[in-house]
A and B are shown apart, each in its own frame.
Chain A
């Protein structure tokens, strides 16, 4: 069965979501991953949006976190103050997994979604943090979506928008941030995780037909590859859910 890289990414992220997780969703492919997980392996996961929609039912894929589609059948229509409060709160925050994307990532999983070039006179301007900085600061686990490109995997960010492990072991603690940090990076070619002691990114898995060398060629820094395992392709069931239940209009896929 043929499938696209985006489908593989959505499925790889859906597999990371555990039953019972509270899933913070951003825009785009992260919504599909959360919807797919709910249909496949995590029926008791809760999808929530920074806009305050808690346990959104999502009959149709939202085009933005402010889309009225996030409001349907929710348990509660809170506000932004509520949504971020749930992440900062020590009782609820530890159950939250956040899904984020960015323009640049560094070896410690810090993200840039603000500018390329100088902050006050940038070469390229992006949307900005949105809730990403808050999610990266508060929650125990984050799943990061990236495109596998050399200009996106950089040794040093042009602007640090969202904290990962900052400068390495105990970096978050030194800065005064709550514990937590990125768990996995999912790209169109591979997955990466973070070493428990050095907090540096390592190659964790390659998609079918992708070699370690091909991945490394598309990165601006070296990573350890010895732990990389093959990633299983999407099953027909996973693809069916993704295409026919989550995104029949192909708005995101």
Chain B
């Protein structure tokens, strides 16, 4: 299936979507750009600690509501730029959680339980301050009626905990992840840190996987111990080389510091940002065309060193 077809089929306007990756690593950027290209609107977005993917979807005008733990791209944008502007101008409703709370919320969705307990966050404003009011929650059956609920330990002091915080499951309509290798049926092999991608995928009704390398089934069945997600969880598999660019894909390529610095400059100014969206996304038919606009020498520079899995000695200033 093409990415265009997968996004058209599975990402409806106002869908609840979740994207994988973490800060500057393995964001499903080819799919993010395709969502922007198709001018999807009103999305309810779940992300963990996501930088570029979240910021581009917001800047592209696709997102109405966001549940997140951390919106930043490390040193390139300690707070994501379009995210910050959208929240400060009242264009985006955001609800905050911690990273572990988000992990457990996706895990609860994956496990099929309504909530999981955690010992993090009691006494903080993360519990008391809701991003979405009670009316909005009740009106949308895909949202729980409450944000977080503290519960006295029903097992007494077992586990040396007087209280636990219950975090509700996230159940997205669709999750999109970018991985190193997938087979044609959808079985997934992630190299390096999986972050929370697998829980995010298992929690969703539909899953789109984009991959650097698409292989036949036999290639992944030789070493099933290296695979994380079975094919029956996956609805669309798309071959998308450089599908995480400008974020990194371990053992394939590094993040691109030049692009991320340039993006920060574009995103800070409405006109520059509009020009960027037009030239790189709306005027390109697909991710291959987006990549063709990049400087080939820089793409060469960010190639991963086989020993380290990233571009050793890359100029990252």
Contacts and interface: CB of A to CB of B under 8 A. Distances in A.
Same complex: yes
Interface of A: 27-28, 50-53, 59-60, 62-72, 77-81, 84, 88, 90, 114, 119-134, 137-138, 159-163, 166, 171-178, 249-252
Contact of A88 (B70, B118, B124, B194): B118
B125 interface: yes
A67 B21 CA distance: 11
Contact of B192 (A50, A64, A77, A126): A77
B250 A120 contact: no
Contacts of B125: 114, 119, 159-161
Contacts of A159: 125, 129
Nearest to A159: B125
Nearest to B228: A79
B48 A80 contact: yes
B75 A51 contact: no
Given A65-B23, A69-B310, 9 more contacts: A51-B195, A64-B74, A67-B23, A68-B25, A68-B310, A79-B194, A131-B69, A134-B101, A163-B123
A63 B72 CA distance: 11
B107 interface: yes
A128 B70 contact: yes
A123 to B, nearest CB: 7
Interface residues of B, number: 74
Given A176-B150, A177-B119, A67 B24 contact: yes
Contacts of B107: 81
B68 interface: yes
A62 B73 CA distance: 12
Nearest to A114: B96
B100 A84 contact: yes
A90 B192 CA distance: 27
Contacts of B98: 129-134
B250 A71 contact: yes
A114 B87 CA distance: 11
A121 to B, nearest CB: 6
B61 interface: no
Interface in B143-189: 150, 160-164
Contacts of B120: 84, 88, 133-134, 137-138
Given A68-B254, A172-B123, A131 B24 contact: no
Contact of A66 (B25, B80, B119): B25
B80 to A, nearest CB: 7
Contacts of B71: 127-128
Interface string B121-147: 111111001010000000000000000
Contacts of B310: 60, 67-69, 71-72
B161 to A, nearest CB: 7
B139 to A, nearest CB: 17
Nearest to B79: A127
B129 A119 contact: yes
A50 B88 contact: no
B193 A130 contact: no
A125 B79 contact: yes
Contacts of A123: 88
A129 B22 contact: no
B269 interface: no
Given A65-B23, A72-B309, A251-B317, A84 B193 contact: no
B17 interface: no
Contacts of B308: 59, 68-69, 72
A69 B163 CA distance: 37
A153 B193 CA distance: 36
Contact of A81 (B24, B103, B163, B316): B103
A139 to B, nearest CB: 11
A77 B136 CA distance: 39
A181 to B, nearest CB: 12
Given A77-B192, A79-B193, A66 B124 contact: no
A122 B71 CA distance: 15
B97 interface: yes
B126 A80 contact: no
Given A68-B254, A127-B71, A133-B124, A121 B119 contact: no
